[in-house]
Amino acid sequence: GCGLPTFPPILSRVVGGDQARWHSWPWQASLQYQSGSYFYHSCGGTLISDQWVLTAAHCIGYDFKFKDIRKL
CATH of the domain at 36: 2.40.10
What local confidence, expressed as pLDDT, does residue 68 receive? 63
Closest alpha carbon to 45 in 66, 71, 68: 71
- Domain with 48, as residue range(s), is 28-64
What local confidence, expressed as pLDDT, does residue 5 receive? 64
Give the pLDDT mean for 13-28: 80
Cβ–Cβ under 8 Å, residues 42 and 31: yes
Helix (H, G, I), strand (E, B) or coil at 62: coil
Torsion angle (degrees, nearest 10) of CA 11, 38, 33, 46: -70
Query: Is there a domain that residue 12 lies in?
Result: no
Q: What percent of the chain has pLDDT over 70?
A: 67
Q: Model confidence at 24, in pLDDT bands (50, 70, 90)?
A: confident
Give the pLDDT mean for 54-70: 75
- Counted domains in the chain: 1
Query: Is there a domain that residue 17 lies in?
Result: no
Closest alpha carbon to 55 in 26, 72, 30, 34: 30
Name the more confident of 64 and 38: 38
Query: Is there a domain that residue 15 lies in?
Result: no
Query: Is there a domain that residue 69 lies in?
Result: no
